[in-house]
Amino acid sequence: MKLSVAIADEHASANAFVVFRGIDTSVKKAHALGYDGVELALKDPTEIDRSHLKKLLQENGMAVSAVSTGQVWAARSLCFTEEDEGKRDEVRKAFHSFIDIASDFGQLVNIGRTRGGINGRDPKLCGRLFVDMAQELSDYAAPRGVRLILEPVNRYEIDFVNNLDECAEQVKLVGRSNFSMMPDVFHMNIEDAHIGEALFRNRDIISYIHFADTNRHAPGDGHMDWDEIFGALQAIGYKGWTTVEILPYPDPDTAAKRAVDFLKGVYGRYYGDC
Ligand code: LER
Ligand code: MN
């Protein structure tokens, strides 16, 4: 299993759920702590200089696990359930640029809060707006070797696609082979009745995972049942990325170190490869 940590540009908004800010220092710090890769939480493609990033990754023996897009919603208010055609075009443009970046780095683009909510509107209309955009962008991503991954997010952040089974329904409706699911165990702890069972039930469409403890602090610093999670991941033969997406508590360096130390211990017990 490969371990990565979510990072962002130094100017990322306060509500970006990342441990480290500043791409260069974050990659170096993540490598020094023992992570295999970084998830790039982007709001704008100009935050990345591709040739510089390539060199930085090579020099530090690191990979990009995925491009994540929560800030496209949090900082730019762009989402798939948007009705206004002008704003839908902005969503397309933003995602085309992220897919282009992911075709060189990581081959995965996350759809978290950027899927948009319903917010009192007609659920059927919102569902259609979501599926149309997801299909169109999957078709843009497919020839570029990129997969889109939809993340169930808890009800206190968004009112559309909260648990794994709801996400599986959307994956089916989108119906593209490069469109699948990425669970986040922090949200699952709120929304899914049994984390292990939900992971097992949806095993065929899980392509990536976010890790945090119940309080969104480093894994090991809350009351998450990590044996249930790792038991399920072992049972389904999961070999993809597991990415730490936590609050930088008590400070970024301590949080990132606690997470990697705890997870390497658990990986060692279940996979014997860390
Ligand atoms: C937000 O809570 C989250 O988990 C992100 O990965 C999705 O935007
Ligand atoms: Mn997440």
Which residue is listed with tokens 């969104």? 216
Q: Which residues pair with 244 in a beta bridge?
A: 5, 211
CA 211 – ligand 2 centroid, Å: 8
Residue 39: its pLDDT value, please? 98
- Eight-class DSSP state of 161: -
- All residues at 6 or more sequence positions from 262 whose CB lies less than 8 Å from its CB, including other chains: 218, 219, 220, 221
Which residue is listed with tokens 């208010």? 77
Q: Which residues line ligand 1 (CB under 6 A)?
A: 17, 68, 70, 112-113, 151, 153, 157, 184, 210, 245
Q: Which two tokens stand for residue 183?
A: 């669970």
Q: What 3-state DSSP class applies to 48?
A: coil
> Which pLDDT tens digits describe the chain residue by residue (274 residues)?
799 999 999 988 777 788 889 999 999 999 999 999 999 999 999 999 999 999 999 999 999 999 999 899 999 999 999 999 999 999 999 999 999 999 999 999 999 999 999 999 999 999 999 999 999 999 999 999 999 999 999 999 999 999 999 999 999 999 999 999 999 999 999 999 999 999 999 999 999 999 999 999 999 999 999 999 999 999 999 999 999 999 999 999 999 999 999 999 999 999 885 5
Nearest ligand to residue 111 Cα: 1
Backbone torsion region of residue 272, taken as left when φ is above 0, otherwise alpha when ψ lies between -120 and 50, otherwise beta: left
CA 11 – ligand 2 centroid, Å: 20
Residue 12: its pLDDT value, please? 86
CA 96 – ligand 2 centroid, Å: 21
Residue 273: its pLDDT value, please? 59
CA 193 – ligand 1 centroid, Å: 19
Furthest-apart CA atoms within the chain: distance in Å: 51
Q: Which of 117, 114, 130 minimizes the C-alpha distance to 174?
A: 130
Residue 261: its pLDDT value, please? 97
Q: Hey, which of 184, 189, 216 would you mutate to test ligand 1's pocket, going by the most ligand atoms within 8 Å of its Cβ?
A: 184
Positive or negative CA dihedral for 200, 206, 207, 211? negative
The reply to whether the predicted model has a pTM over 0.75 is: yes
- Helix 50-60 with 23-33: angle, nearest 10 deg: 20
- All residues at 6 or more sequence positions from 6 whose CB lies less than 8 Å from its CB, including other chains: 17, 18, 19, 38, 39, 41, 68, 210, 243, 244, 245
CA distances (Å), origin 48, targets 20, 22, 37, 63, 84: 15, 11, 16, 14, 28
Residue 1: its pLDDT value, please? 78
Nearest CA to ligand 1 atom 6: 112
- All residues at 6 or more sequence positions from 217 whose CB lies less than 8 Å from its CB, including other chains: 246, 247, 249, 255
The one-letter code for the residue type at 157 is E
Neighbours of 96 (CB within 10 A): 15
For residue range 64-73, list pLDDT tens digits in order.
Answer: 999 999 899 9
Nearest ligand to residue 73 Cα: 1
Q: Is 21 exposed, middle or buried (0-12, 13-18, 19+ CB in 10 A)?
A: middle
